[in-house]
Amino acid sequence: MKARALKLGAQVDAFQSNEEGALVTRIGKSAGKYAGIIFNPAAYTHTSVALRDALMASRVPCVEVHLSNIHAREEFRHKSLTAAACIGQISGFGSQSYLLALEALVDFLERRKHEERKS
């Protein structure tokens, strides 16, 4: 991720936690610190209103990532509570899902910056 980010002119800061509250806190502190978020909410995808609310409140563009294709798994995994708070979702490409998310997020941010300059 860091090597690919450098090629794209971006920087990556990684954070991992199995604690929902720690994730909510980190997302809450992201506004003004990060231009975007790449987030794998794992099992919290299907259960966490708190993470969804944190993503919405932060207003930081986020790409949701899953290593597996959540739509090819159990029925309860087909519903993501967090996806609606994100600019997009990438799943099913294993670890490459993170690289795809990085490329999509950088492209989104560049397009947004270009649009803001036009305004």
Q: What is the pTM of this model?
A: 0.92
6-58 pLDDT per residue, tens: 999 999 999 999 999 999 999 999 999 999 999 999 999 999 999 999 999 99
Structural domain for 53, as ranges: 2-118
Number of domains in the chain: 1
User: Do residues 46 and 79 make contact, with C-beta atoms less than 8 angstroms apart?
Assistant: yes
Three-state DSSP class for 39?
strand
Neighbours of 43 (CB within 10 A): 10
Domain of 69, CATH number, reads 3.40.50.9100
Q: Which residues contact 95 (CB under 8 A, 6 or more apart)?
A: 67
Sign for the CA dihedral angle at 40, 44, 47, 53 comes to negative
